[in-house]
Chains A and B, each alone.
Chain A
């Protein structure tokens, strides 16, 4: 395993962890079935790309067309990516989250994902259509040589800082009284409303927070890959993230991290190894990967719906139960 491959794996792991933590805030904690999650990651990636690229009239870039091209220095593209995800959540949330019942919300969001992909795929002048954007500048590439191992380490470190930051924010939200209100809304929205909680405001907030985090994950990814196209954010990518969260444990940040490592990262690795071993016809393994992910989700929903790391039960200090030491933690 060479350094580049290891770095590739670690950066993907970081991006997936960030994404699944955001999905946990939305789906695991708040109960929003955001089937358009990947759109927000894509928005972040595109935003980071056009913020860091030169205008499409520039010499090396004239083979593609896109708006913007601001050549802004790092970290502005990453911040811009996060902002783009958060801002995109406003119109989508206002359309989907206000009036629709939650099962219809899921369908509407899935359709949103498909529409967004189709539009970007076909509206070429906007973001270069199906061919996508290429030659996206890497962070700090005018200060350091990006073709070295040390740049890979730097990129891993930057990703790790973002993972740490997102983890910190997510933990504060999940473990707070606000997180408790979100979980209450997930359990019984009407009852939460009757207790003075505004469900639309709560959902919109989590949609924007999750959207911003998703946008950041996209920005990190595009800075590493230097390319971004509609084929990288088809709606099944969202399903993989849902699988990760269901396997890891909905409502549990540690579960989200574990799921991100097991499903997107773990599956990619296993698939890659199998392809190298030349098992069967060339396209069988990637196809079987989807079958396996589907079975994985079904298996967990059937046998262990709470995931590997279930949402913890919150026992308060001084509870009668804490005095019976043997019983603590057995639910």
Chain B
């Protein structure tokens, strides 16, 4: 990659993931530039979600190295990666259904004094201040994402689009440095798609780095600064959407795959 070393926030080197002989991800190397939205596209079964899971630590890599901010994180568990600022969302809705929308956000907050057995046993006076600060922060996010009125509803009762928004907000409560979004707009009403698109652009303007898997190519074209293409577990191309459209084999892989 041509980007400067310090511009590469997340680097995957020769990542493979095998399932009993099947190469779901096969020697993928890529670098995600800081402060940009990077797309990862490819036909169904290309290994995009598996790759995202390996980067997030949900699945261990069979081989290869992942560096985040220059540090080797390949052997770190998911929760440690999340605490360091590499936060993923899921392809399927993953809200905490029997928690309210506001509670969903509060759960994600790191460094809460009441979020340990010791803190809990110390009682409310010990952690109330943290709680109040975080409730304010969470309400700020809800306002920004236009969901203030829903804060006390169970998250399980939200619509598909609202769950998507909730999941992005929840990730933001961790103050991530890099978001991994797995199809954040699948199964969502077009109006909410526009909303999510707008929020992602404003997050980029705030300096957040995003790597996202997406199927809708027109969205990828509008949102992503650069794009990686996967097919059959391998990386087969990269560049801007416009440049990719001119490459014969990539168009073929997409249409055929």
Report which A residues bind B (CB closer than 8 A): 169, 172-173, 175-181, 183-184, 187-188, 190-199, 205, 209, 251, 311, 313-316, 318-322, 331
Contacts and interface: CB of A to CB of B under 8 A. Distances in A.
Contacts of A191: 90, 94-96
B121 A196 contact: no
B170 interface: yes
Given A181-B115, A313-B100, A194 B88 contact: yes
Contacts of A209: 117
Contacts of A316: 102, 135, 151-152
A234 B184 CA distance: 49
A184 B107 contact: yes
Interface of B: 56, 58, 77-80, 82-83, 87-90, 94-100, 102-104, 106-108, 110, 112, 114-117, 119-121, 123-124, 127, 130-131, 135, 139, 148-149, 151-152, 154, 170-171, 174
Given A177-B106, A190-B58, A196-B83, A183 B119 contact: no
Contacts of A187: 95-99
A188 B104 CA distance: 11
Contacts of B56: 194
Contact of A195 (B87, B97, B116, B120): B87
Given A193-B79, A197-B107, A320-B148, 11 more contacts: A172-B123, A176-B120, A193-B82, A194-B58, A194-B78, A194-B79, A195-B108, A198-B77, A313-B152, A316-B151, A321-B151
A109 to B, nearest CB: 22
Nearest to A176: B120
B35 to A, nearest CB: 22
A321 B116 contact: no
Q: Lowest 8 A-B CB distances belong to which pairs?
A: A176-B120, A177-B114, A178-B120, A196-B82, A191-B94, A187-B96, A184-B107, A196-B83
Contacts of B77: 193, 198
B119 A176 contact: yes
A315 B131 contact: no
A193 B58 CA distance: 9
A197 B112 CA distance: 12
B112 A177 contact: yes
A177 B120 contact: yes
Given A196-B110, A321-B152, A178 B119 contact: yes
Contact of B116 (A169, A178, A192): A178
B151 A197 contact: no
A180 B148 CA distance: 20
Given A178-B120, A321-B152, A196 B98 contact: no
Interface centre among A179, A196, A318, A321 (most CB of B within 10 A): A196
Contacts of A313: 100, 152, 154
Given A178-B114, A178-B120, A320 B151 contact: yes
A184 B99 contact: yes
Contacts of B171: 195
A209 B94 CA distance: 28
Contacts of B108: 195-196
B107 to A, nearest CB: 4
Contacts of B124: 175-176
A196 B174 contact: yes
Given A184-B96, A194-B78, A316-B135, A177 B170 contact: no
